[in-house]
Amino acid sequence: MGVALTGLAAGVTAFQLSTRGFPRPLETGGRYPVAGCDIRLPSGEGSFRARVLWPSAGDHSAEGELPYMGAGDDGQAQADSLAGLVRLPSILTAHLAQASSGIRLNAPVLPGPWPVLCYSHGYGGNAQMGTLVLREIASYGTIIIAVEHTDGSASRTVRADGSVQRFGDRPVGGRATGLALRAAELAAAADAVRESSLLPPGVASACDLRRLFLGGHSYGAPTALLALNAAPAGTYAGALLHDPALVMMNADEQTAPPCPVLVLLSDEYTASSDYLRPPAVAITSAASEGSALYHLIGSAHGNYVDAPIWAARVVMRSLARLGIPASGAGEQVQTLRAIGTTAAAFLNGIDVGAASFAAGEPLLETLVLRPRTASAVR
């Protein structure tokens, strides 16, 4: 027993050393510094938390920094909740509460108009765990609203009355009811773009309502699809889906939205040719012109959140042996850049369904292309 405890203590110490200084906010690929803040938005009779990011300009040296996982005790609780999802001790993610986001708190918005992406987290995620990926996308010139859902699918969130909702605390009706609630919250985030008083000062006026997109990672993808298909055609400019877990929605709901879609798949989703990949192929093949489905070579499911840079690379890669796809085999910066540049192109109206698009992105393997025709109108 003593030897075992000594070994465990040594392992914990080694892990703590491997997380020192992580995550490090990598230099963004876009030209714009990113600012942001955390807000609460109304939805139906309730409300939900959201993280808003936007392009900023000027000297940010006088501004504070947006806490990576949230402020104070709430940020620590958010960090701890992530480890509990995979039944690991909170020491594995506790350091995230002190991590840097590289995002200026409430710095002025650079005048737009900018495309807007309302983004839904995965099953067991939250509005913070993909902050650095979304920061990368924002740096190319995009306003992002990352929703934290209240259906019990978030690792942890706080209700309007201050009470804590933990993962698995689902509404009556189970997952189907929860997915509908998630879709309503994502649509409410988009509605907030049209109501300037709900967003931080200057953000709403910098939004381009003609370029309003929904998106999501994993379970966030069916959330986005449900919201897109419930809205009148022309409401949204497109859908950005990362490793879409479409099998988590009913088969009759797996319907292509009335707009273009850009889908990126990780190595494991691409390899799942009889389960995870087919619904993504079907959705993209039936989507509007200007759509595409790509395999992002070297990416894992965790690359679409910040997991690869939560600790030293050797540690995050080793988690795959435990069945946790935290980090792909590809070089982390190159993978992050590919996520950012593909999103930026799509959000700014470039035809990602054209064969020439993937030719300029060495990490993209083409799976489905729906190029625009000469008569197509974006």
Domain of 289, in residue numbers: 2-370
Q: Where are the alpha helices (DSSP H) in 305-331?
A: 313-318
Residue type, 36: G
- Is 376 inside any structural domain? no
Buried b (16+ CB within 10 A) or exposed e, 287-326: bbebbbbbbbbbbbbbbbbbbbbbbbeebbbebbeeebbb
In the predicted model, what is the mean pLDDT of residues 332-353?
97
pLDDT digits (tens, 9 = 90+) for 34-58: 999 999 999 988 999 999 999 998 6
Please report whether residue 122 resides in a domain: yes
Residue 375 lies in a domain: no
The answer as to whether 279 is a domain residue is yes
Strand arrangement of the beta sheet that strand 34-43 belongs to = 104-105, 34-43, 46-55, 143-148, 114-120, 207-217, 238-242, 261-265, 291-296, 364-370
Task: Find the CATH number of the domain harbouring 347.
Answer: 3.40.50.1820
Least confident of 48-52, 197-201, 340-344: 197-201
How confident is the model over 209-229, as a mean pLDDT? 98
Beta strands in the chain (DSSP E): 34-43, 46-55, 104-105, 114-120, 143-148, 156-158, 164-166, 207-217, 238-242, 261-265, 291-296, 364-370
Distances (CA, A) of 66 to 55, 103, 128, 142: 14, 6, 11, 18
pLDDT band at 177 (very low <50, low <70, confident <90, very high): confident
Give mean pLDDT, residues 233-253.
96
Q: For the chain, how big is the Rg over CA atoms in Å? A: 20
273-297 residue pLDDT tens:
999 999 999 999 999 999 999 999 9
In a domain, 79, yes or no: yes
Task: Name which residue leads in pLDDT, 15 or 306.
Answer: 306
The residue type of 317 is: R
Structural domain contains residue 377 = no
| pTM for the full predicted model | 0.93
228 in any annotated domain? yes
Binned at pLDDT 50, 70 and 90, residue 87 comes out as: low
CA distance 81 to 132: 19
Helix, strand, coil percent content, the chain, rounded in steps of 5: 40, 20, 40
In this prediction, residues 209-232 reach a mean pLDDT of: 98
Q: How many domains does the chain have?
A: 1
Categorize the per-residue pLDDT at 15 as very low, low, confident or very high, splitting at 50, 70 and 90: low
Residue 246 domain flag: yes
pLDDT over 80 at 18, yes or no: no
